[in-house]
Structure 1
Amino acid sequence: MKNWTIRIRLTVIYGSLVLLAGTALLAMTYVLVRHSLDGRLDSNSTTIAGVQGPEDATSGPSLTWQSGEQFRDDTLDSLLTQGGIALGAVGVVAVGFGWLVADRVLRPLHRITETARRVADSNLHERIALTGPRDEVKELADTFDSMLERLDRSFDSQRRFVANASHELRTPLAINRTLLEVAMRRPDAPPPVRDLAETLLAVNARHERLIDGLLTLARSEQGITVHNSVDLADIAQHVAEQNRQSGVEILTSLDPAPTWGDPILLERVIQNLVQNGIDYNITDGWLSITTTTRGETVELTVSNNGPVVPPYEIPGLFEPFRRLQDRVAAGRGTGLGLSIVRSVTRAHDGDVTARPHDGGGLTVTVALPLMREQHRPRPAWSTTPPTSDHGAVSASVGASPSDHLG
């Protein structure tokens, strides 16, 4: 009974109540009929009654005479038998009607559940807007709509704040970078000034990457508006070629992996994973990129051999600004890389998982919905990506390649 749905429970309750009421009615009828028959019998129980017997061919119907007590018992037995059959039939009909009525009563709750599931996919703009009489279900739906309204305003306010703050911080950082570069190029600049300028430029660049990562994270959490056909194998091949000179051997096994979404954000996902695997590697290490199709999903897997990652630390790596303790000292990245990967993947109705690689390192798998050939719009990436197109994409999302795990 623990696994019964509310509809089944309501049906069982309704059917049980009908059967209990019918049983009580039959019992009362039995008592009343018996009391009536007892009043008609003589005190010595010698009264007899005529009951129609089988029809005779010559004389017609015959009467079979029996005692009053036998007549009473036969009548009561017939009442119980016929009443029980009728009660069973009514019970079956009541259960059927109860099943239909329960579905009708629970239909608004199904609507609330479906809306809640859609809202869980970051669609906070949707409302239930239940119509009908103002009963308990209508009050529940209105309360849920009011909660969604407050959540929507809160999330919008948070996103606008992050976007505005990130945008406003870009201007002073750009000015600082320009001033430092000018100071470094002055012919009369002493070596200590040049060294200080290089250090400040590195710090400034890290802050720019942080701001760019926050903008990307805020954008991905607002949902995607571009739904182009994308092959993850093409993007992975392009990202791998960009990082061939990183000092890490990059291995690729790229089968077609057609999906849909924003190619700029998806390139950012692959770039973050690859850059993370490069930064946290070992001397003469390797990094592998694999794309494949499994059922109704396409998968991108990036693995590397690097420092050992404890399994209990993996969930925290997907949180913003969360990095392993032994990696903080390196000062690389912003701690937003895997957060951006997860946010962009969820915005594309996908999922991302990670597990420690045998011998050290990390294996991250991104799963996205498969785009069937008959449903594919015009491709946003060709099989051999033009250099100019990819250069434009890289300029917009690849300018901060180290927004990774950190």
Structure 2
Amino acid sequence: MNAPSTTTSRRPRPGRITLRARLTLVHGLLFVVAGVLLLGTTYALFNQRLQADISRTEVSTPSAPSGGGPTRSAGPTLTGPDGRTYTGDDAQRFLQDTQDDLHAAATTSLITQGGIALLIVGGVAAGLGWLIAGRVLDPLHRVTDTARRIAAAPAADRGLHERIALGGPDDEVKDLADTFDAMVERLDRSFDGQRRFVANASHELRTPLALHRALVEMAMHRRTASEDVRRLGTDLLDINTRQEKLIAGLLLLAGAENHLPEPHPVDLADIAAHVIVQSGPEARRAGITVTHACETAPTRGDVLLLERAVQNLVGNSIRHNVEHGGHVHVTTRTGTDGTVVVEVGNSGPTVAPYEIPTLFEPFRRLGTERLVTAKGAGLGLSIVRTIVHAHQGTVTAVPRDSGGLTVTVTLPMTPLSAPGEPSDGTP
């Protein structure tokens, strides 16, 4: 599975406001608020200065009349900018008109034109804020893209070799990137240790069991071996076989979680039919009837892992069934939503719905303890779930009303190539 591109990973989800947009919006709003406060302050100072200028306008009071009669004020006298002299009510009206004209001019120039200029400059500031926010958040995008590539790797340990290695100033963002690199490096070391452990366990555990099997078989097949020795050898071989299966299951479980080989086109119907033939002797010994309805179900994956998953489903359905008279039904089909389905249903004891999730946990078996005489190691469905998840699919189980389970595996559908055409889509 290819990692998502940087363009796709940075595409915002619908209905979500990105941090870059929020920073731009805050920057633009702060700029506009500061501009409005600046215009208001300028307008108030201009109005104050206007009142002071008007109060200093030349106003004179006419002299008393000659003849020594009583003094009578004719009202204020005002000399306008044009040299004309206004007296009485005319002076008051001229003064008021002048003040109104100046207020209108101030409103037009400061409030209206200044507001338009503020909006234009605010838009420019918001655009610059968008660019600056993008530059500031670019290291965070690198962190996010690296984390998404690691998370989208086809296996858990793939992609852990990637590092951000962020340069630039030693700030909080660089601290975040360095911390992320240290975490990924620690995870890489942990997975590398797990890989070495799986490789060593495969050798150290299988070799003694193989030697044990060889020694028991040699003792059983000696001509001098008594019947008791042969019976004891048979029991020991059964225990040895169970231990081999347990170890193989654990190794497969660990390997499927950490690595998925190169996928190839495969038809689940062929795999199911092959598994049913292989399971025939076991089903006949248990008195179980196995039926199938296998339609073409093309997908891509590892053939051996998918065969093991179907084999575990069918084997569990045979072993966890009613004795002599039970049935198992296997179905493969193509879904309507671009998926393929493998469905295995069986008869058997009634299973409570709340017990279903525990069936997919390792070493969990219904109604049995961790005994040597148990029917299985408790890893069958755990391995199925791990293999299905490694193939980007899902697995669910539903209890049947009459007893037993119906387990459904859903995988992405990939049309099989026609004869003579390349399977990888290349010309």
Letter in 1 for 2:149: R
User: Which of the numbers 310, 334, 349 marks the counterpart of 1:293?
Assistant: 334
Report the alpha carbon displacement of residue 325 of structure 1 after superposing the two structures with TM. 4.2
Aligned mates of 2:143, 2:327 — CA distance in 1: 50
**Do the aligned partners of residues 377 and 209 (structure 1) sit closer, same or farther apart at CA in structure 2, a change above 3 Å counting?**
farther
Aligned mates of 1:66, 1:212 — CA distance in 2: 102
User: Which of the numbers 38, 43, 63 marks the counterpart of 1:30?
Assistant: 43
Report the alpha carbon displacement of residue 341 of structure 1 after superposing the two structures with TM. 1.6
Report the alpha carbon displacement of residue 200 of structure 1 after superposing the two structures with TM. 1.1
Give the number of the structure whose alpha-carbon radius of gyration is greater. Answer: 2
Aligned mates of 2:79, 2:327 — CA distance in 1: 108
User: Which of the numbers 332, 356, 360 marks the counterpart of 1:314?
Assistant: 356
Query: 1:272 and 2:312 equivalent?
Result: yes
Report the alpha carbon displacement of residue 66 of structure 1 after superposing the two structures with TM. 7.0
Contact 1:226 1:261 in 2 (8 A): yes
Aligned mates of 1:297, 1:110 — CA distance in 2: 33
**Do the aligned partners of residues 277 and 101 (structure 1) sit closer, same or farther apart at CA in structure 2, a change above 3 Å counting?**
farther
Contact 1:305 1:359 in 2 (8 A): yes
Unaligned runs of 5+ in 1: 51-63, 380-406
Contact 1:256 1:293 in 2 (8 A): yes
Report the alpha carbon displacement of residue 9 of structure 1 after superposing the two structures with TM. 2.3
Contact 1:30 1:76 in 2 (8 A): yes
Aligned mates of 1:349, 1:107 — CA distance in 2: 31
After alignment, is 66-75 or 223-232 more displaced?
66-75
Aligned mates of 1:13, 1:187 — CA distance in 2: 92
What's 2:160 paired with?
Answer: 125
For residue 218 of structure 2, give the secondary structure of its aligned residue in structure 1.
Answer: helix
* Higher relative contact order, structure no. (Cα contacts within 8 Å, ≥ 6 residues apart): 1
**Do the aligned partners of residues 103 and 86 (structure 1) sit closer, same or farther apart at CA in structure 2, a change above 3 Å counting?**
same
What's 1:221 paired with?
Answer: 257
Unaligned runs of 5+ in 2: 1-14, 60-77, 83-93
**Do the aligned partners of residues 195 and 256 (structure 1) sit closer, same or farther apart at CA in structure 2, a change above 3 Å counting?**
same
TM-score normalised by length of structure 1 = 0.80
Aligned mates of 2:305, 2:81 — CA distance in 1: 95
**Do the aligned partners of residues 222 and 363 (structure 1) sit closer, same or farther apart at CA in structure 2, a change above 3 Å counting?**
same
Residue-by-residue CA offset, 1:308-327 (whole Å, 9 max, x unaligned)? 23333333322222333436
What's 2:63 paired with?
Answer: none
Residue-by-residue CA offset, 1:43-86 (whole Å, 9 max, x unaligned)? 68978678xxxxxxxxxxxxx99722202321232121222233
**Do the aligned partners of residues 117 and 250 (structure 1) sit closer, same or farther apart at CA in structure 2, a change above 3 Å counting?**
farther
Contact 1:162 1:214 in 2 (8 A): no
Aligned-residue Cα RMSD (Å) equals 2.9
Number of equivalent positions: 365
Report the alpha carbon displacement of residue 124 of structure 1 after superposing the two structures with TM. 4.2
Aligned mates of 1:273, 1:297 — CA distance in 2: 19
What's 2:292 paired with?
Answer: 252
Sequence identity (%): 51
Aligned mates of 2:161, 2:16 — CA distance in 1: 30
Residue-by-residue CA offset, 1:373-393 (whole Å, 9 max, x unaligned)? 5698549xxxxxxxxxxxxxx
TM-score normalised by length of structure 2 = 0.76
Report the alpha carbon displacement of residue 18 of structure 1 after superposing the two structures with TM. 1.4
After alignment, is 299-308 or 367-376 more displaced?
367-376
User: Which of the numbers 270, 291, 301 marks the counterpart of 1:234?
Assistant: 270
Residue-by-residue CA offset, 1:327-370 (whole Å, 9 max, x unaligned)? 65651222222222222222223232333233322222222222
